[in-house]
Structure 1
Amino acid sequence: MRIASLAAAALLAASVLPASAATLLEKNFWLSGPNYDGILPRCDDPAVTGKIATRFADKEADYWNSALTIERFDRHHQIAYSPWGRSFIPRRFCSARVLTSDGHYRRVSYSIAEDTGWLGATWGVEWCVDGTDRNLAYAPNCKMARP
């Protein structure tokens, strides 16, 4: 009981103290900053397009009760690479045309970013297929998925 009350008092005291900046020791050893390589897959890499197609099908089935899938990618092109400068997370912005299972060609805008994948251990991808952004996460017309 005594240990629990001491722990509670210490937690309360720590929560009312103002936040302070990192010390010189913390800056030198623990807060060294990002160490990015800037090595990202190309826009037409099958691992990237496969991840987009799989996640698109999962999203359509799970959230929208739809059987819509991406059948094929073509016309890949890079829009920008790290457009905000070297001090930001390296990102490759791409666009491509996809054929969806309903027979329509649509544009997909996507970005491949370093250390944004599973546990920050690999690259990640964010994407938006025109005409299927039903929750308007990248509205208007997937514009927010581009630089």
Structure 2
Amino acid sequence: MRFISTLKTPVAAVAALLGLFALAPTAQAANPLEMNFWLSGPRYDGNLPPCEAALPSITHQFAEKEGNFWNSDLRITAYAKIRDVAFRPWQSDNIPRRFCAADALLNDGKTHPVYFSIIEDGGLAGFVDGVEFCVVGVDRNWAFNPVCKAAKP
């Protein structure tokens, strides 16, 4: 009997606590006055420049990365076979991207494929279009490994 009397107090406390949860109102979504309805999220227009517009940025970023991080004089001197690979390959409500490919001629005389994407509002603080790129065979930090696959759609 003594066991039952000591058990009654914790059981009663748990039952009372569960009863309070059962009586609580269900969770509701915030009403419109509580939500930041004027900040409804980014509005993308999907107007991205053609692939050729990203080439000067790629040339500059490649030279800067090779010189500053890898102590290399390797530079991109020319591009060939510039082509559009995909535009917004995922759902239309994702950040608009234009995926492109080209062949880059480096100053060592070798030609390497380069895969890049132009990202709407993907630049500094979201004010300009951003560019991500990968030169096959020169992705030294393996950011887009294997063989620049992560730079493709």
TM-score by length of 1: 0.80
Structure 1 stretches of 5 or more lacking a match? Answer: 1-20
Task: Please give the per-residue CA displacement for 1:21-78, whole angstroms capped at 9, x wherever unaligned.
Answer: 8663324222x12200101110122xx1000000000000011000000000110111
Moved over 2 A (4+): 21-27
Structure 2 stretches of 5 or more lacking a match? Answer: 1-28
Letter of the structure 2 residue corresponding to residue 100 of structure 1: L
Per-residue deviation, 1:119: 1.4
Which residue, out of 35, 40, 43, partners 2:43?
35
Question: Aligned residue for 1:130?
Answer: 136
Task: Please give the per-residue CA displacement for 1:70-113, whole angstroms capped at 9, x wherever unaligned.
Answer: 00011011110000121100000000001001100000000001
TM-score by length of 2: 0.77
Task: Measure, in 2, the Cα distance between the counterparts of 1:94 and 1:105.
Answer: 17
Residues 1-147 of structure 1 aligned to structure 2 (within 5 Å) = 24-25=32-33, 26-30=35-39, 32-45=40-53, 48-147=54-153
Q: Structure 2 vs 1, CA of residues 134 and 85 (structure 1 numbering), >3 Å: closer, same or farther?
A: same
Q: Structure 2 vs 1, CA of residues 74 and 23 (structure 1 numbering), >3 Å: closer, same or farther?
A: farther
Per-residue deviation, 1:144: 0.3
Q: What value does the CA root-mean-square deviation take over the aligned residues?
A: 1.3
What number of residue pairs does the alignment pair up? 124
Letter of the structure 2 residue corresponding to residue 68 of structure 1: L
Task: Measure, in 1, the Cα distance between the counterparts of 2:62 and 2:49.
Answer: 19
Structure showing greater Rg: 2
Q: Structure 2 vs 1, CA of residues 27 and 134 (structure 1 numbering), >3 Å: closer, same or farther?
A: same
